[in-house]
Structure 1
Amino acid sequence: MSAARDYGLDDDYEWPRPPVGGWTADDLDELPNLPPHTELIDGSLVFVSPQTNFHSRVIRLLDNALLAHVPDGLDVQREMTIKLDRRNRPEPDVLVFKADADTGPGQTWYRPEDVVIVVEVVSKDSEERDREVKPRKYAAAGIAHYWRVEQNDGLPVVYVYELDPMTKSYVPMGIFHNRLKLTVPFPVDIDLNAVERRR
């Protein structure tokens, strides 16, 4: 079976060939027929694997819970890219951003200075990106909070990090099983076991 067919494309589909120096963040909006949720990392296109049930349920849980907790002036979005720089436009699973950064229905990315929290739910094909590459890039761009979600026996475990502005790197703030309860950057209390329950 061809990779093109896995994405619902004809077998004779030609994958985009990068220009010399790689793609740019602006190219992501111009390239035709990209698979859903394509990211740009270091000038290279990254195609993600289909989501697992766990991945989808965790995104839904955090998206809904954060929407219920965010204070006025902030909003929540899932699977929207952040233009970190000319060669990097990752797509976190969930993000919290300044509500006034929403420019309308045609918007395809946010600026890092408008993002308050990025959340990545780790899957088998994204382990290195979510544990090493993306946190480094998010921190260098000045995004204050990074949450990484791992799976343990079918339940989410949330690793919470906060930016040290002096070193431009993340400092671990806690590992949360069963319940995610925080006061920074705003009060949050999320039952992580709810990922198992039907909505």
Structure 2
Amino acid sequence: MGAVMIAERLEKATPENWMFPPEKGWTVDLVEDLELPVDWELVDGMIVVRGRPVLWHNMMRAGIERRLNDCLQEPYAVLSEQCVLIDKYNPPVPDVVVFDKRGIDIMEAKHILVEKVVLMVEVVSPGSQQDDRVRKPALYASAGVPCYWRVERGEDGLPQVHEYWLNTDTGVYIPRPVRPCHTSKLETDQPFPVTIDLGSLVEL
């Protein structure tokens, strides 16, 4: 009986067994076909249910993706809600990711390898504050992602973008030395020149 149960636990994740991971946790390969009626993400081998994002969050994500596309330079590409493979137990799905598209077979690739990523963007929601402010930037920095933007909702409802650069000596993010928090307008030259009228992101 025990051997049968262990064998079952090592099978791919299903709607019936996803809450009971193998001893070392689920891996990307074991969860790639999993379909659940909720949004979820694999974190350290555990399947974690994510809250449903609100309209403001989705508008920020879509707007930032559009503006980054407007400013994009070769050899980069930008996508939203695309899985980034950090390791087999941690394939986060950032709100927006900018990556070097060279050498990627878009017909076959299931994930973006983290070594290709130059910018991760997370839009903070009430249920994601700890993740977006602490866990995810630590994860992205440890994986060597050069730039991280955290988008917060100001008291006036307008977005504020906190810009971080990777300190390669310490392996952690530091606030951009000049104007680390962008309000009204985002202007930066990392990972390439970008200008975004932040107020325009809330216009329908």
What is the TM-score of this pair, normalised by structure 2?
0.85
- Return the alpha-carbon distance in structure 2 between the equivalents of residues 35 and 105 of structure 1: 27
Q: CA offset at residue 197 of structure 1?
A: 1.2
Name 1:67's counterpart in structure 2: 69
Distance 1:163 1:149, change over 3 A: same
Asked whether the equivalents of residues 39 and 81 of structure 1 are also in contact (C-alpha less than 8 Å), the reply is no
Write the deviation string for residues 52-89 of structure 1: whole angstroms up to 9, x where unpaired. 11101001110000001110110001001111112111
RMSD between superposed Cα atoms in Å: 1.6
**Given residue 121 of structure 2, which amino acid in structure 1 is its aligned partner?**
V
- The 5 Å alignment of 1:108-127 reads 108-127=110-129
Name 1:160's counterpart in structure 2: 163
1:149 aligns with 2:151: yes
Counterpart selection for 1:21 from 20, 24, 35? 24
Distance 1:52 1:92, change over 3 A: same
- Return the alpha-carbon distance in structure 1 between the equivalents of residues 30 and 183 of structure 2: 39
Asked whether the equivalents of residues 163 and 181 of structure 2 are also in contact (C-alpha less than 8 Å), the reply is yes
Asked whether the equivalents of residues 77 and 96 of structure 1 are also in contact (C-alpha less than 8 Å), the reply is yes
**Given residue 161 of structure 1, which amino acid in structure 2 is its aligned partner?**
Y
Compare CA radii of gyration and give the structure with the larger one: 2
Asked whether the equivalents of residues 37 and 79 of structure 1 are also in contact (C-alpha less than 8 Å), the reply is no
Q: CA offset at residue 38 of structure 1?
A: 2.5
Asked whether the equivalents of residues 80 and 108 of structure 1 are also in contact (C-alpha less than 8 Å), the reply is no
**Given residue 112 of structure 1, which amino acid in structure 2 is its aligned partner?**
V
- Return the alpha-carbon distance in structure 1 between the equivalents of residues 198 and 106 of structure 2: 32
SS at match of 2:169: coil
- Return the alpha-carbon distance in structure 2 between the equivalents of residues 37 and 101 of structure 1: 30
- Return the alpha-carbon distance in structure 2 between the equivalents of residues 186 and 125 of structure 1: 31
- The 5 Å alignment of 1:44-83 reads 44-83=46-85
- Return the alpha-carbon distance in structure 2 between the equivalents of residues 169 and 195 of structure 1: 29
Name 1:129's counterpart in structure 2: 131
1:193 aligns with 2:199: yes
- Return the alpha-carbon distance in structure 2 between the equivalents of residues 44 and 101 of structure 1: 31
Distance 1:151 1:88, change over 3 A: same
SS at match of 2:58: helix
Q: CA offset at residue 14 of structure 1?
A: 3.3
Flag structure 2 segments of 5+ consecutive residues without an equivalent: 1-14
- Return the alpha-carbon distance in structure 2 between the equivalents of residues 91 and 181 of structure 1: 25
- Return the alpha-carbon distance in structure 2 between the equivalents of residues 41 and 53 of structure 1: 25
SS at match of 2:122: strand
Aligned length: 185
**Given residue 126 of structure 1, which amino acid in structure 2 is its aligned partner?**
S
Flag structure 1 segments of 5+ consecutive residues without an equivalent: 1-12
Asked whether the equivalents of residues 119 and 145 of structure 2 are also in contact (C-alpha less than 8 Å), the reply is yes
Asked whether the equivalents of residues 145 and 162 of structure 1 are also in contact (C-alpha less than 8 Å), the reply is yes
What is the TM-score of this pair, normalised by structure 1?
0.87
- Return the alpha-carbon distance in structure 1 between the equivalents of residues 150 and 39 of structure 2: 18
Name 2:6's counterpart in structure 1: none
